[in-house]
Structure 1
Amino acid sequence: MKPILKSMNRLLIVGTRQQHEHSENGPIPTIGEQWSTLSPRLAEIEGFHGISLGISCFSDVADSRCIDYVAGALVETMPESIPDGMQAAELAPQMYAVFTHQGPLSGLTATYGHIFHWLAANGEYMQVNAPSFEWYDERYTGFDHVDSSFDIYSPVQPTGAVQ
């Protein structure tokens, strides 16, 4: 699995933030619950145009078994009013290695295995301490659909570059 390298400008997101414990056996079930709660409320977010992001923020969590996860809507400008129970988030401009996950979420562990292998072995780019995220657009058709896909953005920089 070879990624596409992509530089992204600042991204603005409105959604919910929760802490989740890692799962050794595949996707973290509580992230699915977070999305189930947010999805019916996406229309409340001013400026939502159909693209959702799932952001993994490891650096803010003291317990290494946990991640902070933001499930939210990508917006072009920050709305004047944030819906109750939601918050705004911003990702700084960053270069990413972009991988596509195909199929049901039950195969996500294998996709992340390919990502981690590429990050460790490619020799040209290294992972940096910045949030990674999932990009959900019209290709995502559901957690158990074989024809579903979404992109995973892993933050990178050229090996040897100063961050």
Structure 2
Amino acid sequence: MTDPRFEPCSAMLLAGLRCHHDLQAAPQQVPAQWEAFHATPLRQTQAVTYGVTCSFDAATQRLEYMCAVEVSSFDEVPEGTGRLRVPDMLCAVFPHVGPPHDIPATWGRAMHWLASNGRWEDAHMPNFERYDERMQCEIWLPVRESRVQG
């Protein structure tokens, strides 16, 4: 895997469908979550969608995943819709090449890079898949310079 490119991510408001998944079942459950999300129209600010890992518990191997769009305000977001404020951050960006069912492999390579690169560490903010208007996917991992250089 080649090194990622680095991109600033401006603060944004995301709204969408949040669900909890067991890590092993997520590859089968997340596509159904996306189908349900697309049936719920939200007034988005751009033609980009996000698959956000809101939280991950390594001990239980559970994650909270959100299918989302950027909104200008939470005021018009229907009640019961998931909401997430994303702060300004720097991200390591990994393009996904291949069919959608191979996205977990791209996540694995990105997480391996994060654990072994020696210069950058997890910034402990939500990480996400970013789907552009062509539905091309990239993995965005918030990073900061490591306090302990390897």
TM-score by length of 2: 0.86
What do residues 100-153 of structure 1 show as CA deviations (whole Å, max 9, x unaligned)?
Answer: 11121222232122212211222211112211111111231xxxxxxxx31111
| 2:40 aligned counterpart, secondary structure | helix
How far apart, in 2, do the equivalents of 1:118 and 1:13 lie? 27
Note if 1:9 corresponds to 2:10: yes
> After the TM superposition, which parts of structure 1 deviate over 3 Å for at least 4 consecutive aligned residues?
none
Aligned length: 147
Partner of 2:133: 138
Q: Does the 8 A contact of 1:125 with 1:156 survive in 2?
A: yes
Kept after mapping to 2: 8 A contact 1:21/1:28: no
Unaligned 5+ runs, structure 2: none
How large is the RMSD of aligned CA atoms in angstroms? 2.1
Following TM superposition, by how much is the alpha carbon of 1:62 offset from its aligned partner in structure 2, in angstroms?
A: 8.8
Aligned to 1:40: 39
- Give per-residue Cα distances to partners, 1:72-103, cap 9 Å, x unaligned: 1112x114221254132111111110111112
Counterpart-to-counterpart distance in 2, 1:106 and 1:49: 25
Q: Which amino acid aligns with 2:143?
A: V
* Distance across 2 between alignment mates of 1:91 and 1:101: 22
Gaps of 5+ in 1: 141-148
Assess, with a 3 A threshold, how the Cα gap between structure 1 residues 92 and 64 changes in structure 2: closer, same or farther.
Answer: farther
SS, match of residue 142 in structure 2: strand
1:150 is aligned to 2:145: no
Counterpart of 1:72 (choices 44, 52, 68) is: 68
